[in-house]
Each structure stands twice: as C-alpha cells, then as structure tokens.
Structure 1
Amino acid sequence: MARAREKGGPWVALAAAVFYPLTWLLAKRRMEGLEHVPAEGPALLVCNHVSYLDPVYTAVFVHRARRVPRFLAKASLWKVPLFGRVLRGSRQIPVTRGSADAGASLEAARASFDDGGVVVIYPEGTITRDEAGWPMAARSGAARLALQREGVPVVPLVHWGTLSVYDHYRRRFRPSWRTTITVRAGAPIPMDDLRARVAQAEPGRERSAEVSALREATDRMMTAVRDLLADVRGEPAPVRAHGERGTGR
C-alpha cells in the first residue's frame, strides 16, 4: 500500500509546481533512499550543502517521500518579495544569527517535531568553502535538535551534482543534461545513547555531559554525511572537515 501524502496546503503545492520542473530542466535527476524518510511522525534530516540549488532538490526529495519539509533558513529570505510569502505560507523556519532571537529557530523546530513534522537542516550553516566540495565543520544547532527530542530519527541526506550546475563562489551557472544530480538519504544515525547520557548525568555534571554529547552527536552526523557523500562520489572522504583543527587551513 502506498504511503499517504502529508497535507502541505496551497503554498507547498505552489512550490512543488515550480520545483519539480526546475529539477528536471537543470540536469538529470537521481533520488535514492526515499524509504529512509519516515512515512509519518517527526524526523530530522541533516544535509551537506554545496550549492544554493540544494534546497530545491531537498524539497523535491522530501515531497517525493510524501512528506512536507520544514527548512531552517536564513531570516533574510523572508524579506524577498513573494518568496518570503511562500516561506511563511509553507511554515518554514527563519534563522536569525547573532541576536536575541537566535534560539527561536530551534524552538520552532522543536514545535514542528511536536506536530510530527520533518525538519531539514544544513549543519554547516552555509554552502561549503571546501574547494573539493566536501562538508565543512558543523555548527551546534543540528546536534541540539537531535538530542532534545526522543523518538526523532536523524537521517543523513546528501546532494552531489548541484555544484556543477551552480557554483556560487565562482559565479558559474551551467545547466546540462550531461550532469547528474544525485540526492541520497541514508539509514538513521543512532542518538539514543547520547540522549540518555544527558538525561542521566549526575547532579553538577549536566553541563559537561551536554557539551560532550553535543560534540559527539555533531561528529556522528557529519561522519555519516561525509561517508554517504563519499559513496555517492565514489571516492574516499577526507579525515577531517574543512575548518576543523588539524586541517592546516
């Protein structure tokens, strides 16, 4: 029996009407691992980020899994005419960094989990600056979300090929059917032991346990993302992410 489609409303339908044809026009499209997106209930998708085209393909991927994505995205996008209206109407989550409202995005994401929603986050916070397109060091927001809700699967998802079509740093846009854009999800990343570590921390050691768990959760997520991307690319991933200590950069 086919899984039922989660209702997204008219703004999600409008976005789908634009995004689906766009993903076919820009390049060949390959989407794998749809079964790893839960048919119902909350989930956190953690993704690599190589191009500003990635969210278009992420959105189509999640929609093809018959779910509605809730992206954490830069708050400045809400100021773009019409696009901001689509973001509001489809219940996306604005992220305002460096302000008193910075934590509001995580609270909104947790509220989406309570509603059984699929939240999408790019842990790096922006498109990678690694010259070979590998993920950079991640921020802590994804790990905080992963650890603060029991029963929420954390699913790695990667894109490859979008950078060949649109490279923001080199100001290069080259749509071509000779290019294949692959989006692939992997099996959920184990997090229950880390959640238990934080919950069972001895009095006075809660903060230390949380910091340790956040660090390990971030490492697990980005390792899973790098390994999945390496499999898609057919080449070994670097031992360390761009921006991590020991990279020499």
Structure 2
Amino acid sequence: MAELVYPPVVLAAKTAFRLLDLRLDVRGAEHIPTSGGAVIACNHVSYLDFLFCGLGAQPARRLVRFMAKREIFANRVAGPLMRGMHHISVDRAAGAQSYQAAVDALRAGEVVGVFPEATISRSFTVKDIKSGAVRMAAEAGVPLIPMALWGTQRMWTKGRKRELTKRHVPITILTGEPTRPTVDDDMDILTKDLRSRLTALLDTIQRDYPDQPSGEDDRWWLPAHLGGTAPTPEQAAELDRRKPE
C-alpha cells in the first residue's frame, strides 16, 4: 500500500523528540521481525504511547498499524491522519469487524499495535488485559511481541494537565522476546502469561529509570509500590468505574 502519510509523520515526531531533547532509550528492537506480520502488545500509561510504541519498531524499519477507538477517526484533524497511516478503527459496538480487519492486516504482513489494557492505567502498573492480542496472533499465525513504555506519562496522561513541550524527559521503550500462540492453545493461559511478561518488562524499566521526582508534588508519576502517589491498582479500578474513559 502507498505510504504517503506515515513517513512524514514519523519524521515530524522524531524532529519534535530531538527539539525537546527527550532522552530516548530503545531496547530489544531485535525482537521485532523485519518482515512479515506480528502483533505488538504494549502497556498503556499515556495518550502519547502510540508514538513511542511505533518508535520502538523503527530500528526494524517497520510501520505499526494501531488499533484505536472509532472516535479518533471521527476527529476532523486526527481522522485523516489515522486513515492515511492505515491504522485500524475499533468500534466497540462492532468488535468482530475490527478484529477481522486486524487479522487481515496481519496476514498481509503488517505489524499491528495493540494496547491490551484497553484504557490508560492510572496506577502505572499493568491492568487486567483483554485476550484480543493473543487471539489475533494465534489466528493469523504470527508472533506476539510484548513491549513496555515508561516516562511517557510525564508528558500527558489521564487526569493530569498535558505537558507536550516538557524537555529532557527520559523515555524508555523495552521490547521483549516474542511468543508464537496457536489456535490450539488455551487463550486464557496465554493472556495471563502476556500480562506477566508485560509486568516484568515494566518492572525492569521502572527500576532502571534514570530520573527521580524533583519533590513531593512530583511523585504523582510513580506507582504507589515504588513510593509514588499514583493510585493503587484498587483505587485506580474504582476511579475507572466512576470516571470511565
């Protein structure tokens, strides 16, 4: 398919990252295949995660087709960009159609990006995840690749004022080893395994993160188990029930 929109968007994003002097640390890109279909399953802590998940695939020279809610495609500014980059619209009222579009893209050799938590994690830990990423990788016969991001929440996340011009923020992108689900596997077991793998990757990059809060008021971007003031997973779940995205 013609790529008239995606490459300029990637170039613009990389230019913005350089101007902001973001301290990017991209690891594990060797796990992303240079050709053929694959599912990237990524944790979700920020509204900007699709940019950085896509960046994690750039060393393999892959363009990631993200599954994103239909409302983004309806936006008069974002919609044409999303369609031009051949992302996949997700209509929660017609999930089977969106799922099939993703499987078709995978079979055509595309890399499809999925945020299996479905919504941003307010606790900055890995929430319970949906089984779609595992199921589509199994049905299409492609590898399932876990990826974890950290630092993106400091620029724009749920319940916080966006700081898109914030400079010198360390952003870590860690890709883990792929697995090869099959249709004969137990999807529930594989989904639990994916969540465990995402949690292990996220724990690693949180532990190795090169920055610390500048003061008590800046501890909001750390999870509670690391001494931060982000909601605990239980508190975050209650907030999600009261204020769904």
TM-score after normalising by structure 1 = 0.78
What is the DSSP-based 3-state SS (H/G/I as helix, E as strand, rest coil) of the residue aligned with 2:149? Answer: strand
Answer whether contact 1:23 1:57 (CA < 8 A) is retained.
no
Q: 1:167 to 1:55 in 2, by over 3 A?
A: same
For 2:40 and 2:117, the matched residues in 1 are separated by 13
For 2:110 and 2:180, the matched residues in 1 are separated by 19
The counterpart of 2:126, out of the listed 132, 135, 141, is 135
The counterpart of 2:7, out of the listed 4, 13, 20, is 13
Answer whether contact 1:128 1:134 (CA < 8 A) is retained.
yes
Spell out the pairing of 1:164-183 with structure 2 (5 A cutoff): 164-173=154-163, 175-183=165-173
| Cα displacement string for residues 98-135 of structure 1 (whole angstroms, at most 9, x for unaligned residues) | x1x221111011111111110100001111122xx111
Unmatched segments (≥5 aa) in structure 2 = 209-222, 226-231
**1:110 has 2:103 as partner:** yes
Offset at residue 165 of structure 1 (A): 2.0
For 2:176 and 2:162, the matched residues in 1 are separated by 30
Q: How many residues align?
A: 215
Runs of 4+ in 1 over 6 A off after TM superposition: 235-238
The counterpart of 1:230, out of the listed 190, 203, 206, is 203
| Cα displacement string for residues 78-101 of structure 1 (whole angstroms, at most 9, x for unaligned residues) | 11223211211221100011x1x2
Unmatched segments (≥5 aa) in structure 1 = 1-6, 198-212
Offset at residue 22 of structure 1 (A): 2.4
| Percent pairwise identity | 29
For 2:176 and 2:6, the matched residues in 1 are separated by 25
Offset at residue 190 of structure 1 (A): 4.7
Aligned to 1:221: 194
| Cα displacement string for residues 158-215 of structure 1 (whole angstroms, at most 9, x for unaligned residues) | 11000122233122426444420011111113534xx334xxxxxxxxxxxxxxx221
What is the DSSP-based 3-state SS (H/G/I as helix, E as strand, rest coil) of the residue aligned with 2:44? Answer: coil
For 2:166 and 2:203, the matched residues in 1 are separated by 23
**1:159 has 2:153 as partner:** no
For 1:32 and 1:77, the matched residues in 2 are separated by 29
Q: 1:158 to 1:137 in 2, by over 3 A?
A: same
Q: 1:144 to 1:87 in 2, by over 3 A?
A: same
What is the DSSP-based 3-state SS (H/G/I as helix, E as strand, rest coil) of the residue aligned with 1:102? Answer: helix
Aligned to 1:24: 18
For 2:77 and 2:155, the matched residues in 1 are separated by 25
CA RMSD between the two structures: 2.5
